[in-house]
A and B are shown apart, each in its own frame.
Chain A
Amino acid sequence: MIRFDQVSKRYEGGHEALSQLSFEVADGEMAFVTGHSGAGKSTLLKLIALIERPSHGQIVLDGQSLSKVRRGGIPRLRRGIGMVFQDHRLLMDRTVFANVELPLVIGAVAPAERARRVRAALEKVGLLDYERQLPASLSAGEQQRVGIARAIVARPKLLIADEPTGNLDPQLAVEIMGLFAEFQQLGTTVLVASHDLPLIKRMKKRVVVLDHGRLVADVAASEVQ
């Protein structure tokens, strides 16, 4: 699903966020990317979604080389990726329903089909009764679940999450990670960046460890203790 091949990213000003990074994530696999802050976790996710371009090396996503995706092709690429953010990035002036609906509106799905899929997504994250509420009236954990419903509503093959539990207490964090594991079981490839090692260990999934932009460990799910 994802293949990084000798990928380096140097930002303007000379800071090297990633250097010669190579790894692969298989179809339907779930993996964590971890490391101290500034290790390059966010940069890695940004390269996948083409928010940033690599300085060197090649990234292949679902058989497609990202270096060949031009500016005009970026929207189409992103419509195939569900993204979850630490600060959930919901639109606070719209209902839960309208927020979750957005990827389907962008995908030009007809209204009746939109409503059906939005409700299915909200049901999966346990928020079906909240569709008419504004995000501000929800708790932090509920808001993050709305963000996840929005990420999966268009049924992307790849789900990426950048510190999705960063603002949540441990109990809620476990719940959220459990949701990601459920989506993996439904066939979605999931890549989660997180620095919460105890939580990651609990999940028993593959862990990719970065340090100063270099891959220092790649622990298979079966070896996680």
Chain B
Amino acid sequence: MSAAAPETAEAPRSGRSRARRVAGWREHHGWSAAASLRRLAGRPVGTFLTVAVMGLALALPLAFYLLLANVQSLGDGLGRNAAVSVFLKPDQAGPQAELLAKTLRERADVAAVAVKTPQQGMDELATMQGFSGALHALDEHNPLPYVLEVTPRADLDAAAFERLSADLRGERAVDLVQDSGQWRQRLDALLALGRRIVEALALLLAVAALLVVGNTVRVDIASRSEEIGVLTLMGASHAFVRRPYLYAGIWYGLFAGVLAVLLALAVEWALAGPVAQLGQVYGGRLRLGGLPPWLLLATPLASALLGWLGARLVSAWQLRKAA
């Protein structure tokens, strides 16, 4: 009945009208996206508060993720690369020790092997507080065995390290292998727990972000019931009335995601100094594990999706109430 183009969704499906449908669809979406952005800009304080709350909620898991990644790399730096002390049996003398050291040096997973003679061991003990008296009591008889200080290659993973350790234990000449294996296992278990906690936290905070957007959109819809009524009377479809609110959810989510990434980068930047210092103390073996680029990109996208979902869930029943 109207001379104005009918709303796209209901036009007949011929070739030309399909082109018009697409044009109309783009027209509607462009208008809704711009209109919702203008509305957000029209009340900057409310928009900022919603974005800030949602952004902080999303920044928290990112910060924990960063912390966890660094504890892991700290563990890798300290534990895995630490030298393994291989105590030879007391009957093994210098030549056998050198021979075993030579064999071990040829292994691909070993970076270096140092041979410590019983005398060197004794000298080390002598420098330690409180041992000198005890050493005198030994009366020149040195009970210490030869010790090989085996340094594994820096990039070994836990399983390869475990294999090396087992091989060392299997050597006939070896009496005792002292490595950080147990310490590693505990750390790994703690890290696994930490990861699970971060995942659970991320899920809870994502739900919180969803609720924040949902509530903001709910209040927005409630305050615009008159406008919704007018639009409906002028022949706006349910989808048309709803669309600006869905876009608002997307904008909230997108801005909050960007804010979360910026906050996480700020935390990373703040950590960089202390971590570098720690790294120096440990002879340059530690580096700050930053947030991976895919996560920096995925966070705003996932957040926009959350915003859309929150707006969608709320607008479905809120609009029915308002109409």
Q: Which residues of B contact A102 (CB under 8 A)?
A: 230-231, 234
A154 to B1, CA, bound (A): 10
B45 CB-CB contact with A under 8 Å: no
A-B pairs, 8 with minimum CB distance? A80-B1, A108-B24, A79-B235, A107-B4, A78-B235, A154-B4, A155-B3, A80-B2
A81 CB-CB contact with B under 8 Å: yes
A68 to B104, CA, bound (A): 90
Report, as a range, how many residues of chain B touch the other chain: 20 to 34
Known A75-B7, A79-B4, A156-B2; contact A108-B28, beta-carbon cutoff 8 A: yes
B154 CB-CB contact with A under 8 Å: no
**Contact, CB under 8 Å: B24 / A75:** no
Contact with B along A93-117 (1 / 0, CB 8 A): 1000000001111111111000000
**Contact, CB under 8 Å: B3 / A106:** no
Interface residues of A in 181-217 (CB under 8 A from B): none
Known A75-B236, A78-B233; contact A109-B2, beta-carbon cutoff 8 A: no
Interface residues of B in 1-20 (CB under 8 A from A): 1-8, 10
A91 to B6, CA, bound (A): 23
**Contact, CB under 8 Å: A77 / B235:** yes
A83 to B231, CA, bound (A): 11
A173 to B116, CA, bound (A): 110
Interface residues of A in 65-86 (CB under 8 A from B): 73-81, 83
A72 to B10, CA, bound (A): 10
Known A76-B6, A80-B2; contact A103-B235, beta-carbon cutoff 8 A: yes
**Contact, CB under 8 Å: B234 / A79:** yes
**Contact, CB under 8 Å: B7 / A106:** yes
A106 to B2, CA, bound (A): 12
Q: Which residues of B contact A89 (CB under 8 A)?
A: 226, 229-230, 233
Which among B1, B10, B24 has the highest number of chain A CB atoms within 10 Å? B1
**Contact, CB under 8 Å: A106 / B235:** yes
B residues neighboring A (CB under 8 Å)? 1-8, 10, 23-25, 27-28, 31, 42, 226-227, 229-238, 240
Q: Which residues of B contact A83 (CB under 8 A)?
A: 233-234
CB distance from A57 to the nearest CB of B (A): 21
A59 CB-CB contact with B under 8 Å: no
Residue of A103, A111, A157 near B234 (CB, 8 A) is A103
Q: Which residues of B contact A75 (CB under 8 A)?
A: 7, 232, 235-238, 240
A158 CB-CB contact with B under 8 Å: yes
Q: Which residues of B contact A62 (CB under 8 A)?
A: 1
Contact with B along A152-193 (1 / 0, CB 8 A): 001111100000000000000000000000000000000000
**Contact, CB under 8 Å: A108 / B1:** no
Residue of B1, B25, B229, B236 near A106 (CB, 8 A) is B236
A residues neighboring B (CB under 8 Å)? 49, 51, 62, 73-81, 83, 89, 91, 93, 102-111, 150, 154-158
Q: Which residues of B contact A154 (CB under 8 A)?
A: 2-4
Q: Which residues of B contact A107 (CB under 8 A)?
A: 2, 4-7, 235
A127 to B240, CA, bound (A): 28
**Contact, CB under 8 Å: B236 / A108:** no
A91 to B233, CA, bound (A): 13
Can you list 8 contacts pairing A with B, beta carbon distance less than 8 Å?
A76-B10, A78-B235, A80-B1, A89-B229, A102-B231, A106-B7, A108-B27, A154-B2
Known A75-B237, A76-B10; contact A108-B231, beta-carbon cutoff 8 A: no
Q: Which residues of A contact B240 (CB under 8 A)?
A: 75, 106
Residue of B25, B27, B229, B235 near A110 (CB, 8 A) is B27
Closest A residue by C-beta to B240: A106
A89 to B274, CA, bound (A): 62
A150 to B7, CA, bound (A): 17
Closest B residue by C-beta to A102: B234
Q: Which residues of A contact B3 (CB under 8 A)?
A: 154-156
Closest A residue by C-beta to B21: A108
Which among A83, A103, A108 has the highest number of chain B CB atoms within 10 Å? A108
Which among B4, B226, B237 has the highest number of chain A CB atoms within 10 Å? B4
Which among A62, A73, A78, A106 has the highest number of chain B CB atoms within 10 Å? A106
Which among B23, B235, B237, B238 has the highest number of chain A CB atoms within 10 Å? B235
Q: Which residues of B contact A150 (CB under 8 A)?
A: 234
CB distance from A80 to the nearest CB of B (A): 3
A141 to B311, CA, bound (A): 39
Q: Which residues of A contact B5 (CB under 8 A)?
A: 107-109
Q: Which residues of B contact A103 (CB under 8 A)?
A: 4, 234-235
